[in-house]
Amino acid sequence: MVAISALPYEYELPASSHVALVVIDMQRDFMELGGFGDALGNDVGRLQAIVPTLQQLMAGFRELGLPIIHTLECHLPDLSDCPPAKLKRGKGAMTIGDQGPMGRILVKGEAGNGIIPELAPLPGEFVIHKPGKGAFYATEMATILQEHNITHLLITGVTTEVCVQTTMREANDRGYECLMVEDCTESYFPEFKASTLEMVRAQGGIVGWTATAAQCLEGLRAWKGAALVS
Ligand code: TIU
């Protein structure tokens, strides 16, 4: 049995498993000044650190011919998919739908809502637009995973304790084997990232596993290699 070296113990990759990489919300709205993350009062610069590692992990998935699912948190221009409770939240000077320097905040199609160019999806990769924090709520995520027989999800992106963790918990409850990639996720709050990684893998992996991108790539290459010789 091939496995990724992970915490709290090995993340097994049976020959029959189908693995996808999930890249959550690597959007200008969270990474750059003038976007949603900034409007909420966060230090957006600290999310940049994971970009090169995530590029390497994405390149590995592409090289191995494995699927990548990108998500974007966004709302329709008329905000009809934004619950009033979400719209009211934050109490900053700017909120969802307001005009910012990169266009309307957290609105689909605006410049600031796009994925950062370094991590742009390639043609043929899945791109999911989501109105909530989790990738399953009001999206085609469940259908895509079912149609492609996906069983294992490696989960990355921003922010660790908000959209990444919500998605991982949603996926775990639906029966997917989930691993959060430690150096491909980041938070505005380092202590929240650390706590999230700990709580995911506590209690024998109550929500799933964590591992580094290098550990994931090593395991995935061995798994693909084993599939080729069997
Ligand atoms: N505010 C915050 O940390 N995150 C979000 O609002 N969305 C995501 O995590 N993508």
pTM: 0.98
Model confidence pLDDT, tens digit, residues 61-86: 999 999 999 999 999 999 999 999 99
> What radius of gyration, in Å, describes the C-alpha atoms of the chain?
17
Closest listed residue to residue 58, CA positions, set 71, 68, 46, 45: 68
> Ligand 1 pocket, 29 CB below 6 A?
no
Mean pLDDT across the chain, nearest whole number? 97
* DSSP alpha helix (H) spans, the chain: 28-31, 36-39, 51-63, 84-88, 141-147, 165-173, 190-205, 213-229
Residue range 218-226: mean pLDDT, rounded:
94
> Ligand 1 pocket, 40 CB below 6 A?
yes
Question: What's the gap in Å between 73 CA and the centre of ligand 1?
Answer: 8
Could you tell me which residue, 192 or 89, shows the higher pLDDT? 192
